[in-house]
Copies of this chain bind each other. A is one copy, B any other.
Amino acid sequence: MDEMIPIKLAEFFKILSDQTRLKILMLLSKKECNVSEIQASIGTSQSTVSHQLRILRQANLVKYSKVGKKVFYQLYDKHVSVIINFAIEHLLEGDGKIA
């Protein structure tokens, strides 16, 4: 079981290692959004947003609900945003360097 930890951990961090996905997660940590809103907020193509949302869905980091033509996404739970905020705090402690 213990040997699975680095594997699972790497999978988890890999999902957080992309700007687009991070922007989506940080946006959803503030409020539920539909795809168009996400697209407008982070400023990339609709296709890219949808592709990245799929990855976030498959990792159970987000869930969605359809309302008419629109699909609203929200964080699956608070775990991710807590970890992201935690990382931000610690990153800001170091001045210029990455950590």
Besides A13-B17, A15-B98, A17-B17, 19 other A-B contacts (C-beta < 8 A)? A5-B26, A6-B22, A6-B23, A6-B26, A9-B16, A10-B17, A10-B22, A12-B91, A12-B98, A13-B22, A16-B17, A60-B97, A60-B99, A61-B98, A61-B99, A76-B99, A79-B94, A82-B90, A83-B86
The answer, among B16, B86, B94, for a CB contact under 8 Å with A86, is B86
Residues of the B chain whose Cβ atoms lie less than 8 Å from the Cβ of A87: 9, 12-13, 83
User: Residue A88 at the B interface, CB < 8 A?
Assistant: yes
Closest to A25 in B: B6
In this complex, the interface size class of chain A, counting residues with CB under 8 Å from chain B, is 35 or more
